[in-house]
Amino acid sequence: MGLELFFAAAIACTDLGPIQGREYEVSRITNLGQYMIFRRFDFDGDGHADLMTGHRILADEFQMREYIDLAKKGDLKNVLAEPQPLFYWLDVTGKDSWDRIYVDIAGNGRCDLYASQDRTS
């Protein structure tokens, strides 16, 4: 069992799940150290995230200092991020693990499979 890194044919990122709006969103984590906002989605209602997306935070150094000050106050609702995710993590087996990682490096809505967890062994 290992992690295989490769690039396969691109697919439409929208095929990975309905991430617009908050209907299926179960959590949102802002990580200022990585300049990312992570969103988790549960599409089948089983209480486990099926998809997690990573959105880049849009900020320069000054804005990041402001965001850090807001974080200390517990108020991060005004952090600006790219509307389209950069990364998509999928749990295809339903075993609470991210089995596939897709990346939209060009930001054009086309996702390349970046890594896949081998579950055959």
Q: Using CA atoms, how far apart are residues 75 and 80, in angstroms rounded to an integer? A: 13
pLDDT in tens, the chain (121 residues): 444 445 556 899 999 988 887 889 999 998 888 999 999 999 999 999 999 999 999 888 888 888 888 878 877 677 888 989 999 999 988 888 899 999 999 989 999 998 887 554 3
Bridge partners of residue 25, in order along the sequence: 41
Model confidence pTM above 0.85: no
